A and B are shown apart, each in its own frame.
Chain A
Amino acid sequence: MDRKFFDRFDITLFLSVIGLIVIGIFAIYSATQSSVNNSGFYIKQMTFAIIGLVMVIGITYLPPRYISSLSYYAYGLALVLLLLVLVFGRTINGNKSWFYIAGFGIQPSEFAKVATVMAVSNFFYKGDEDNQKFSITQLLTATGIVLLPAILIKLENDTGTTLVMLSFIIPMFFFAGVSPFLLFAVVTTVAAAVLAFINIYYFAVFLALLILALYFFKKHWLLSAGVFLINVIAGYSVSFFYSKLQPYQQKRIMAVFDPASDPLGSGYNVIQSKVAIGSGGLFGKGFLQGSQTQLRFIPEQWTDFIYCMIGEEFGLLGAGVVILLYGIIIYRLLTNAYLSRNRYMMLACVGFASLFFFHMFINVGMTIGIAPVIGIPLPLVSNGVSSLMSFLLMVGIGMNTYRHKDIFLS
């Protein structure tokens, strides 16, 4: 293979992806090998990984306009599937988000993430990156494109994936050219609400920093004062509404932010997961040697809690390599976004990078006790065909962006 080939084939991205998948398959094998019912999971994961990687290469060589012109169809299909799953779906672990076709569980919400990013990219395709004059209608429509599937997923009782859907709005708007000040106002308002809820002192410090930031934005003082006021109101109203909730509702919300307050529910898993990762040390206990993993202190750890198995058996080395590989993947997706002359591809890569980042940060953070317990998979690693295939779809489009980075097509 010559230099020219690698000029058009993002080998770094491709190899990082394969690396994560391989680690994932080992982890799934270790987590399920002592189980009678699930010991075949790793074979299934391996099979679909191969199919998926072939798909990635296929997508890489597609003309970009095929991808962009498919966006709205993919989005429409995702909505239909989400509606169908609401009516006919099967409930697993409290989420009604599964179809069973010929013995395979399929989660339309995983596919919806990709399709929604594509639809938003397509919506901003024609926009102007420099003259950020988006009408209110345009902004609301773009937000609506995301909210519609997000609401359907929330109706499936899948809060984790709903939050995931909201994670890429701000980054994509930012790159689409929406006024940074507007986005800043939105982000700070959400942050104010969350911080005021967690701790009133955090909230105070936050407000001080906010004043500083507003000063540097150098906007009209009335505008700045307005943003500040909205932040204060957001913070206070959250505390106010929280105090009006029933104690059991408060308890449920607290359990998300502070798992230790619910030691038998989500807190139990976090305690066990921290013990597993912490006991792994620098180099881990060795493949198949993790007592926490092998003795099944954490239920179903081949899915959302797979990272604690990696931490226990492969230690800081393994756990660090996994995070590093995510760093590389996200970095490559952002670089490809930067290089692309195709606005659609640029936005799609930003959306996918956000998805990888949010999934990775929340999932890993949850297992080491610094993020709320939200049931979302670790991309390319957790057991699950739907999740694996949808992330590989994103990788494929990212690879395609790199290959066609010099070509502009409208």
Chain B
Amino acid sequence: MSFSRERKKLKGVSWVRREAKIYVSIGVMAAAIIVLFARLVQLQVVQQQEFGKESEKNSIKKIIETPARGLIIDRNGKIIVDNRPSYTLTITPFQFDKNLIDEVASLSGIDPEEIRNELADAKGTNRFNPIKIKRDIDFKTISYIEENRDRLKGVSYQVESLRFYPNKFKASHIFGYNAEISEKGLNESTENYYRQGDLVGTTGLEKFYEKSLRGEKGSRLILVDVNGREVGAYNDENNDVKPVNGSDLFTSIDSELQEYAEKLMGGRRGAVIAVDPRTGEILCLVSKPDYDLNAFIGSPDAKEINRMFNHPEKPLFNRVTQTRYPPGSTWKMMMALAAMASGKITPTTTISCPGSFTFGNRTFEDHGGYGSIPVVRAIEVSSNVFFYKLGLMLGIQDYHDYSAMFGFGSRTGIDLPNETKGLLPSQEYFDKVYGVNKWSQGLLVSLGIGQGELGVSPVQMVGYTAAICMNGMYIQPHLVRKIYNSSTGIETPVEVKKRQIDMSQKYFDAVKKGMYLVVNGSGTAKNIRNSDYVLAGKTGTAQNPNGNNHSWFVGYAPYDDPKIAVCVLGENAGWGNMFAAPIAAAIMVRYLSGNSADVFNENAKMEVND
């Protein structure tokens, strides 16, 4: 039996060896315990007085210092998002007498119940830390607190900087707002930077450039007595960390143009974006309806904020970057370029364009018959039949691939959060939606004129327009040119992606010629022809199953040396040449004239033949 054999073995030398090992182990442990004891004696006996004093009279407290956020500056160096000092009413629970709640409530104009809740929420945290009760209190309240300092124990105020917008325009969707960080935001943040009550960029540039704008918090270690009163700096401030100021954003916004564009859009729903096609810099960006950023400052009124969030017209939504619409006829240049580049047609190929087109058993209408016409003419008159046919000729693969080259179906990379990719259909997409071989090529007919399952955002459209007028140079549209850190003096230019779309110059020339004729020939936007500047562009009227048509215009100017490209969208605003084109023209002329000319004419009407 293995039992006795094993036991015999174990009975041999091993006991001696084991004993030695046990002695070694106990020796190591004893040595370690002696070290711990020695250190305890050193701390608790030898240095007891020193530490005792430190803990009884003085304790170290860490005060977090939040720097002011970086400024936002327009293309001419004007500050368009500024800071102003404000006072925040605080209560320090350790010193605060609960009987004062009613007085503080009437002083700050908030419900006493709310103060009780705030105090209850703060239980379990350091009772010496002041709790922020109300932001942005007025100077009268401050004076009152100062005068009654002895009686109002624990009631105080902190200076905080809040946003201030010194502008005649809103630009709400560009700047975005700051709000107190949510519990979710706190939990999701991995960098352990934010604390409850911190303001954090929530939308727009404030969110996109949060890390640059916020700077870095600093901290001071101070000595406090048993009652939490500050008695001096710890270790001669050697362990303090100075806050780093937030970096300033130098944007390409043209304040005057922004103001003008917002005025033109008035109370309509829609979007405007203008860029300098040579650089991709955004000159103005408007999404309507917009909202008042000031409503989010200080202690925002919850009812008012809720009203904004639940408003049926969605004012918080950025229509330039977050929505997708079918582009309608503004898509036709895309089709023309794709058809030429893939060799389906040449600039001189003519296609017969009667007043309608039948595919299978469905008839697709056009607004007129044009005979046999080449691509330039087709763009000028916005023939539908011409582009129905191009859609079919291209096939879904080329349709998708060439459109993708102009940024459709993917994010432009504009420096605003939550940009949509839009929807650019592909073989895989249709296979997934309808099933393999379950969809007909007939889908390509509508897609040819920018209808059907195609979704683009105004920022994608302006990128595409700029790329056309720059002969295929696609530059990522962007708002910020450089980030300037005022503490270090370091300027960081923002990296902008550029790419040259590989297509023959001939094709761009043909499309641009068509866009020229739209305005300056017998095209669909003759109404915006300008005697001082040669404008080019394309109207679009996108059918919308949920209401009136969306009105589009994309264009650029001057024709031979583009300095501005623009996209205007009017939600449910009808014909492209009625709503969008006059606004786009006015913006281009205004910009080219150095923000002086105003050619906007609301009543510029002409016969409708988009």
Contact = CB atoms under 8 A, between A and B. Distances in A.
Interface of A: 34-38, 94, 128-130, 171, 174-175, 263-264, 268, 271-272, 274-282, 291-292, 295-297, 311-312, 315-316, 319-320, 323, 326-327, 330-331, 334-335, 337-338, 341, 343, 346, 350, 353, 357, 361, 364-365, 368-370, 408-410
A35 B124 contact: yes
B55 A279 contact: yes
A353 B43 CA distance: 27
The binding surface of chain B is classed by DSSP as: helix
Given A130-B14, A295-B128, A361 B48 contact: no
Residue among A291, A353, A368 facing the most chain B CB atoms (10 A cut-off): A368
Given A275-B51, A297-B59, A323 B44 contact: no
Given A296-B126, A331-B26, A282 B45 contact: yes
A279 B40 CA distance: 11
Given A128-B9, A323-B33, A410-B3, A279 B45 contact: no
A410 B2 CA distance: 8
Nearest to B18: A338
B29 A295 contact: no
A327 B21 contact: no
B560 interface: no
B29 A331 contact: yes
A75 B26 CA distance: 28
A264 B219 contact: yes
Given A264-B239, A281-B48, 4 more contacts: A130-B13, A295-B128, A364-B36, A365-B39
B10 interface: yes
Contacts of B14: 129-130
A320 B34 CA distance: 11
5 contacts: A268-B60, A275-B59, A279-B48, A279-B56, A282-B44
B21 A268 contact: no
Nearest to B120: A36
Nearest to B10: A341
Contacts of B39: 365, 368-370
Interface residues of B, number: 55
B7 interface: yes
Contacts of A292: 55, 59
Contact of A327 (B6, B13, B29): B29
Contacts of A175: 18, 21
B36 A361 contact: yes
B123 interface: yes
Interface in B1-20: 2-3, 6-7, 9-10, 12-14, 17-19
Which 8 interchain pairs have the tightest Cβ spacing?
A278-B51, A279-B55, A263-B239, A36-B123, A278-B43, A35-B124, A316-B44, A279-B52
A94 B192 CA distance: 9
A357 B124 contact: no
B55 A171 contact: no
Contacts of B33: 323, 326-327
A38 B124 CA distance: 8
Contacts of A365: 36, 39
Contact of B21 (A35, A174, A364): A174
A323 B36 contact: yes
A117 to B, nearest CB: 15
A408 B10 contact: yes
Interface string B104-127: 000000000000000010011111
Contacts of A36: 120, 123-124
B48 A323 contact: no
Contact of A171 (B7, B25, B50, B62): B25
A320 B123 contact: no
A361 B13 contact: no
B52 A357 contact: no
A274 B43 CA distance: 8
A337 B25 CA distance: 11
A278 B47 contact: yes
Contacts of B17: 129-130
B320 interface: no
B524 to A, nearest CB: 58
B22 interface: yes
B22 A316 contact: no
Given A296-B126, A323-B36, A408-B3, A268 B62 contact: yes
Contacts of B30: 327
Given A36-B124, A275-B51, A129 B18 contact: yes
A37 B121 CA distance: 10
Contacts of A312: 55
A272 B21 CA distance: 39
B32 interface: yes
A186 to B, nearest CB: 16
B503 interface: no
Contacts of B56: 279, 291
Given A36-B124, A279-B52, A338-B19, A368 B43 contact: yes
B606 interface: no
Residue among B2, B17, B44 facing the most chain A CB atoms (10 A cut-off): B44
Contacts of B128: 295
Contacts of A350: 25
Given A130-B14, A279-B56, A361 B51 contact: no
B29 A291 contact: no
Nearest to A358: B32
Contacts of A346: 18
Nearest to B49: A281
B515 to A, nearest CB: 52
A278 B55 CA distance: 9
Nearest to A316: B44
B227 to A, nearest CB: 10
B285 to A, nearest CB: 37
B7 A341 contact: yes
A3 B13 CA distance: 31
A309 to B, nearest CB: 13
A330 B29 contact: yes
B36 A275 contact: no
A292 B58 CA distance: 10
Contacts of B25: 171, 334, 350, 353
Nearest to A277: B43
Contacts of A296: 125-127
Nearest to A262: B239
Residue among B33, B41, B125 facing the most chain A CB atoms (10 A cut-off): B33
Contacts of B6: 408, 410
A359 to B, nearest CB: 12
Contact of B44 (A268, A311, A330, A364): A311
Contacts of A35: 123-124
A276 B2 CA distance: 58
Contacts of A94: 192
A341 B6 CA distance: 10
A316 B40 contact: yes
A121 to B, nearest CB: 15
B597 interface: no
B221 interface: yes
B226 interface: yes
Contacts of A272: 60
B54 interface: yes
Given A282-B45, A295-B59, A341-B7, A320 B51 contact: no
Contacts of A369: 39
Nearest to B64: A264
A165 B127 CA distance: 39
A20 B279 CA distance: 71
A278 B3 contact: no
A68 to B, nearest CB: 14
A357 B32 contact: yes
B22 A338 contact: yes
B118 to A, nearest CB: 14
Contact of B26 (A34, A281, A316, A334): A334
Contacts of A37: 123-124
B112 to A, nearest CB: 20
A353 B29 CA distance: 10
